[in-house]
């Protein structure tokens, strides 16, 4: 299992467009990927669950990646977040 924290830098938070792109990126991974805030957790491969987290700009969340390709998938998700959020 791999975990890392990320703070949203986008002034609009985790809104529809980047959330959709994040889900697409997660779906390309073979590992199970979840996003957790202090109040809820969501499967990163399900758009409505990710949107339901309501992560605002400046808020931190934790990404957990589990699976046989977790190292590669974790790096892929982290790179996506840094480039888009």
Q: Annotated catalytic sites, by residue?
A: 15
Q: Strands across the sheet with 60-66, in order?
A: 2-7, 60-66, 32-36, 41-43
Closest residue by Cα to residue 4 from 61, 73, 84, 76: 61
């Amino acid at each position: 299992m791999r975990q890392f924290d990320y703070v949203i830098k986008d002034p609009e938070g985790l809104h529809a467009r980047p959330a959709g792109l994040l889900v697409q990126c997660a779906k390309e991974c073979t590992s199970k990927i979840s996003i957790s805030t202090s109040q809820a957790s969501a499967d990163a491969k399900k758009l409505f669950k990710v949107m339901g987290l309501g992560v605002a700009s400046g808020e931190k969340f934790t990404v957990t990646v589990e699976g046989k390709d977790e190292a590669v998938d974790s790096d892929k998700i982290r790179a996506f977040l840094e480039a888009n959020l």
